[in-house]
């Protein structure tokens, strides 16, 4: 009898006993191809020898030093690497222990920034429906997933939401991508004016939406329009790359493909590759200067921020991600994965859309391909896909509530960047069979 409060009570989970490359082995000796990197975390697979060596070296030096007393060489090196990779306007790094912490820190940075520059009236947060920004209170409030928020609404701070950029379902008949982007930008501007243009603090968005929508990217110049509107009203832009960043979409930062620079960007997951819990906020020079020339501090902190062993792991992960062959493989294998999914599933009456970038791909499952009608949520198709995939030795990331937090099913794929062609083909084959079996059941 387990003494752990598992995410789902009453289910018997296999026990992970080992991992190597893109496979996990359970205590019964069964092998699972990690087609989602857990939750888009294990970007370099499991037990990467270079990362393990870097952690061991740091363990032998010092395992922990509180950041109110010390910095460490590995933390400083990690920050330098991240700033070197980020757009030039993003000049400083704040290390945390994960994605939700990164979003919480970014929100507090935004609030403190306006206090420091003499605009303390700015308080409103705007994000998008069907977004996910974490499970801590501030991050959960910012996220726009109705199901995740519902029971916690009474204790969530006030936030506001506009439409996601969800081309598959929301583009109107005859509407071009440019017109759709303009319509969404106009909706954001209307919301800002409604709340008071001098009262809005920040707009938060995922460049490519992960868990809640399943690898949905923007259309046309959507983010350029968003950036323009934020600048027009003096609002900060946070781009949340916790899931889609650190090479997942084929570039180190997904925002690179949009031609925009946010004021703050949050990263985690692939930053540490699952070897240690770590996340970060990369902030602009203007935010740093407001703190430095104002109160002289950032009024925030957690016990384990900048943890030396986590920083050592991430430092090596980032070093490896910078090697040209890694991102080249993300792009090439991502194209193979997309082509394979289309070949295997395009004719299925139960697959409505196959989308994504790099090794970040989503498959939306529908009851009727022509009308895009979703399955009855009571059927829990996404749960059945997960079960069928596990039985076939595939780890994937299915979710329900794709459309509105209740209706809709999708599967997210985010395999390690070291994946090879034959392993991509295995993912396609096993997922296609899992979807067929789930629908048939």
Whole-number Å distance between alpha carbons of 108 and 102: 10
What pLDDT was estimated at residue 234? Answer: 98
What's residue 418's pLDDT? 98
Percentage, residues of the chain above pLDDT 90: 99
For the chain, give every domain's residue range: 16-34+324-440, 51-321
Whether the per-residue pLDDT at 360 is higher than 90: the answer is: yes
Burial 202-232 (b: 16+ CB within 10 A, else e): bbbbbbbbbbbbbbbbbbbbbbebbbebbee
Q: Give this prediction's pTM.
A: 0.97
Closest CA to 167 of 205, 208, 226: 208
Write out pLDDT tens, residues 207-264.
999 999 999 999 999 999 999 999 999 999 999 999 999 999 999 999 999 999 999 9
Is the pLDDT assigned to residue 11 strictly greater than 90?
no
**How many other CB atoms are found less than 10 A from the CB of residue 441?**
10
State which CATH number among 1.10.486.10, 3.40.640.10, 3.90.1150.10, 1.10.10.10 fits the domain covering 51-321.
3.40.640.10
The predicted-structure confidence for 254-304, as pLDDT tens digits, reads as follows 999 999 999 999 999 999 999 999 999 999 999 999 999 999 999 999 999
pLDDT band, residue 441 (cuts 50/70/90): confident
User: Where does residue 311 rank: exposed (0-12), middle (13-18), buried (19+ CB within 10 A)?
Assistant: buried
The domain made up of 16-34+324-440 has a fold known as 3.90.1150
**What percentage of the chain has pLDDT greater than the value 70?**
100
Q: pLDDT-based confidence at 311, cuts 50/70/90?
A: very high
Q: Please give the mean pLDDT across all residues of the chain.
A: 97
pLDDT band at 9 (very low <50, low <70, confident <90, very high): very high
Q: How confident is the model at residue 1, as a pLDDT?
A: 82
Phi, psi (degrees; rounded to nearest 5) at 106:
-65, -40
pLDDT value of residue 303: 97
CB 332 within 8 A of CB 250: no
The answer to whether the Cα torsion of 217, 220, 222, 224 is positive or negative is positive
Measure the N-to-C terminal CA separation of the chain; round to a whole number of Å.
Answer: 30
Q: What is the pLDDT of residues 383-426, one digit of tens each?
A: 999 999 999 999 999 999 999 999 999 999 999 999 999 999 99
């Amino acid at each position: 009898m387990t003494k752990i409060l598992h995410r789902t009570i009453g289910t018997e989970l296999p026990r992970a006993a080992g991992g190597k490359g893109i496979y996990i082995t359970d205590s019964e000796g069964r092998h699972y191809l990690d087609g989602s990197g857990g939750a888009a975390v294990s970007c370099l697979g499991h037990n990467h020898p270079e990362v393990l060596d870097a952690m061991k070296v740091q363990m032998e030096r010092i395992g922990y030093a509180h950041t109110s007393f010390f910095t460490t060489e590995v933390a400083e090196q990690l920050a330098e690497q991240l700033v070197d990779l980020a757009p030039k306007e993003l000049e400083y790094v704040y290390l945390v222990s994960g994605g939700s912490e990164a979003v919480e820190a970014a929100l507090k940075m935004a609030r403190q920034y306006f206090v420091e520059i003499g605009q303390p009236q700015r308080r409103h947060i705007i994000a998008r429906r069907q977004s996910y920004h974490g499970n801590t209170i501030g991050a959960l409030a910012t996220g726009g997933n109705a199901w995740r928020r519902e029971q916690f609404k009474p204790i969530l701070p006030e936030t506001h939401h506009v439409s996601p950029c969800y081309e598959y379902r929301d583009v109107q008949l005859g509407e071009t991508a440019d017109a759709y982007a303009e319509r969404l930008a106009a909706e954001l501007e209307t919301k800002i004016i409604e709340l008071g243009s001098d009262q809005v603090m920040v707009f938060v968005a995922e460049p490519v939406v992960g868990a809640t929508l399943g690898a949905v990217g923007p259309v046309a110049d959507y983010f350029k329009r968003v950036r323009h509107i934020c600048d027009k009203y003096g609002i900060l832009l946070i781009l949340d790359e916790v899931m889609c960043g650190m090479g997942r979409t084929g570039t180190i930062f997904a925002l690179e493909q949009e031609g925009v620079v946010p004021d703050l960007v949050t990263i985690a997951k692939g930053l540490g590759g699952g070897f240690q819990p770590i996340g970060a906020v990369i902030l602009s020079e203007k935010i740093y200067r407001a703190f430095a020339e104002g109160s002289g501090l950032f009024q925030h902190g957690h016990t384990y921020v900048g943890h030396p062993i986590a920083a050592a792991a991430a430092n090596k992960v980032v070093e490896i991600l910078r090697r040209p062959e890694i991102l080249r493989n993300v792009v090439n294998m991502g194209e193979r994965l997309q082509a394979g999914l289309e070949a295997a599933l395009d004719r299925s009456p139960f697959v409505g859309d196959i989308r994504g970038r790099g090794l970040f791909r989503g498959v939306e499952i529908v009851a009727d391909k022509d009308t895009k009608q979703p399955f009855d949520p009571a059927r829990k198709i996404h749960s059945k896909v997960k079960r069928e995939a596990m039985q076939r030795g595939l780890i994937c990331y299915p979710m329900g509530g794709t459309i509105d937090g209740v209706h809709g099913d999708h599967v997210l794929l985010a395999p390690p960047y070291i994946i090879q062609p034959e392993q991509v083909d295995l993912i396609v084959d096993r997922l296609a069979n899992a979807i067929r079996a789930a629908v048939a059941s």
